[in-house]
A and B are shown apart, each in its own frame.
Chain A
Amino acid sequence: MRIVIAEDDALLREGLALLLRAEGLDVVATAGTPDEALDAIDVHKPDVAILDVRMPPTHTDEGIVAAVEARRRRPDLAVLVLSAYVEQSFATELLGGGVSGLGYLLKERVGRVEEFLDALHRVAAGGTAIDPEVVAQLFTRSRQDTRLERLSPRERDVLALMAEGLGNSAIAEKLVVTDGAVHKHIRSIFAKLDLSPTDQVDRRVAAVLRYLEDLRRLT
C-alpha cells in the first residue's frame, strides 16, 4: 500500500512514517503543508493519503480543504484525516460528498496500532473509518430528530458501529451477539429510517449519511 503523509509537526510526521514502515507499508512521501501534500499526491499517486486537519498557514481546517481538493482531483483516492479534536463541521464537510474511501479519526487512535491499521486498510479498500467520538457526538447532537428517536438503544449501538465502518461480523464480535442478531438489528434500522430494500444506494452508507444530513439540518 502506497501512502502519503501530511502533518506539520515534524516529530509526529516522522513517528507516523516510522510506525507505518515498521509495519511493512510503503510511505512514499511526507509533507508539512497542504500544498506540498497535494503536489506529493499528484506526483506519487498513492493509494491512501493521511492528512492532519490543522496545518499552516492558519492552522484551522487546511487538512479538510486539502482532502476535499485531493478527492476532487482523484475521486478514487482514499483519504484518512487525523484530527486533534472532534469538530462536527469538519466531519460533515469531509463526508458530505460520500463516505467511501474516507476516514476521520482522532490522532491518538494511531497509538492503537492494530485498530489503526485496520482502519487504514478499510479506507484503502473503499470502506469508511469514522472515529467513535464523532459518532457519539452525532448521536447526542441529533437526539431532537424524531426519526432517530425511533431507534432502540441497541439499534443505536449497531448504527454507531456501522458508522465507524465496521462490517456485520465485526459488529457482532464487539457487541458479543450472533451475526444473525446483528442482521436483524440492521434490518430494523433500515425500516425505521425509511430505507427500502429496493434503494440503489448502499443502505449502510445511506444510514450514516442520514445522520450527517440531519446534523446539517440542525446546525
Chain B
Amino acid sequence: MTTSASEAGGGAAVQRESFKDIALRTLSTAGQAIAQLASGLNTAVLAALLLLWLALTAVTSVVGVGLLMAPAPLRALHALAGRERARLARRGPEVVAPQPPPTRLRAALVDATTHRELRWLVRHSTLGLLLGLLGVLLPITAVRDTAFPLYWTFMPENTTATSLGIGNAQTWPDALAVALLGVGWIAIILGLAPGMARLQSGPGRRLLAAGPDVDLSLRVAELTATRAAALDAHATELRRIERSLHDGAQNRLVSVAVLLGAARRMVARDPAGADELLERAQSAAETALAELRTVARGILPPVLADRGLAGALSGLAADCAVPCRIDVDVPERCAASVEATAYFVVAEALTNIAKHSGAEHAVVTARGSGGRLVLSVEDDGRGGADADGGSGLTGIRRRIAAHDGDLTLTSPPGGPTVLTVDLPCGR
C-alpha cells in the first residue's frame, strides 16, 4: 500500500507537501466551486422565472384576477426553496428546513418563513443568477482563449474577436496575446471561483434555514426517529456481542473445562493420554483468548484510541488483500462512536472488495471539515454491487442512520464502485 502525503497526523509529511499536491488541491477546489456555481445557475434561472410570475400575479392582483392565482406561485416558491435547501445540503452542512409555510394568501402575507423565502428569491434570481452565469461562462471563455492559437487561422475574417470584445486578432502575436488572456481567465477561476460559490450560496444558507424563532417540532420529530434508530442499532450491537461471547469464547472455555476434567480422570492410568488432553485444553484456552480479542475489537477497536482514525484505517488497508491507498485529511478528532462507525464502514467495504469485486486497487479517502466526516471507498472492480443486499451493509446502514448520516453506493456493471458515507462529526 502507498500512503499519500496528506495523511492526517503525520506532521512532517504535511510540511513536505509537494507543489503537485497543492496544485491538485487547488484544481479540485476550483472544479467543485464551478460545479456548485453551475448547479446554482439552475435554481437561479428558475428563481428568475418565478420572480416574474410573482410580479405578474402582484400586478394583476390590483384588478383582482391575480388574487385567485396567488397560491400557485407561493407553492412554487416553497418547492423551489426546498430544492435549494437540498442542493446546499449536498455541498455543505445541512440547511434545516423550517415548518412548511402556509399557502393560503392571508396567512402567507404575514408568514415569516415566506418573507425570508421571498428575500432569498430576489437575491438568488439577481446576484445568484449573475454568479452562476459567470461560473459557467468563465471556464468556456478560458478554454476558448487558451486554445486560440490552435484554431484561429481556420476562422473566417472578422469572426476572430477576443473574449474582451476589443478588436479582432489578425496576427500571430495577437493570437498569443489571446492565449495569455486565457491563462489570465484560468488564474481568475482558480482564485475567485470558491469565493463566488460561497457568495452565491450565502443568501440561501442565511435565509432558507429556520430562523431562531421558528418552530422546530418537525426537526425534533426527525431527531426522535433517528434516536430510536440509534437505540435499536445499539440493542442489535449488544445482541451480536452477547452471541459472540456465548457461542464463541464461552464454548472454548467449556471445552477447556471438559478437557481438563477428562485429563484429571486420565492422569493416573494413562499419563501420556492425559498430557495430550492437556495440550488440547491449552490450545482451546488460546483460541478462547483470540476470540475474546476479536469480540473486544468488534466493540471498539483499541487502535482508534491509540493511533486515531488515520492510523486505524491504515491498519485496515494493510490487512486488505487488495492493494489499497489511504488518504486521510481529518484535522480534528470526531466523537468516538462516529470514528468507530467510520472504521466499521471501511472495514466492511474493504472486506466486500476483497471478496466480491475482483478489483486490483482500492482507494479510501476520509475528509473532515465543517463538522462533517466524509468517507469514500472506491475500487476498480467489476461493479454491480447491490446496495440493499448483504447483511454487513445493512448493519452499516443502520449504524449510519443512527448517527443521522448518509450512505450512497454507485456501482454500475463494469465498475467502478464508489461507496460514500457522510457523517456528522458529533463534536
Contact = CB atoms under 8 A, between A and B. Distances in A.
Given A15-B259, A22-B262, A22-B265, A111 B247 contact: no
A62 to B, nearest CB: 12
A184 interface: no
Contacts, number: 64
Contacts of A112: 261
B110 to A, nearest CB: 59
**Chain A, interface SS category:** helix
A110 B258 contact: yes
Interface in A148-164: none
Contacts of B243: 59
A111 B257 contact: yes
A12 B265 contact: no
Interface stretch (B156-164, B248-256, B356-364, B376-384): B248-256
Interface string A1-31: 0000000110110011011001100000000
Contact of B246 (A85, A111, A114): A85
B246 A54 contact: yes
Contacts of A107: 250-251, 254
Contacts of A11: 251-252, 255, 284, 287
Given A9-B247, A59-B247, A23 B258 contact: no
B191 to A, nearest CB: 62
Interface in A109-124: 110-114, 116
A22 B266 contact: yes
**Chain B, interface SS category:** helix
Contacts of B115: none
A92 to B, nearest CB: 20
A19 B273 CA distance: 12
A108 B287 CA distance: 17
Interface string B257-284: 1111110111000000100010010001
Given A22-B262, A113-B262, A108 B246 contact: no
A174 B246 CA distance: 31
Interface residues of A, number: 22
Kindly name the residue among A11, A15, A22 whose own CB sees the greatest number of chain B CB atoms within 10 A.
A15
A111 B258 contact: yes
A124 B284 CA distance: 30
Kindly name the residue among A9, A11, A110 whose own CB sees the greatest number of chain B CB atoms within 10 A.
A11
Interface in A84-105: 84-85
A110 B261 contact: yes
Contacts of B273: 22
19 contacts: A11-B284, A11-B287, A12-B254, A15-B255, A15-B280, A19-B262, A22-B266, A23-B265, A54-B247, A84-B247, A84-B251, A107-B254, A110-B257, A111-B254, A111-B256, A111-B257, A112-B261, A113-B265, A114-B265
Interface of A: 8-9, 11-12, 15-16, 18-19, 22-23, 54, 59, 84-85, 107-108, 110-114, 116
Given A9-B255, A15-B255, 16 more contacts: A8-B247, A9-B247, A11-B251, A12-B254, A16-B258, A19-B261, A22-B266, A54-B247, A84-B246, A84-B254, A107-B251, A110-B261, A111-B254, A111-B261, A113-B262, A116-B261
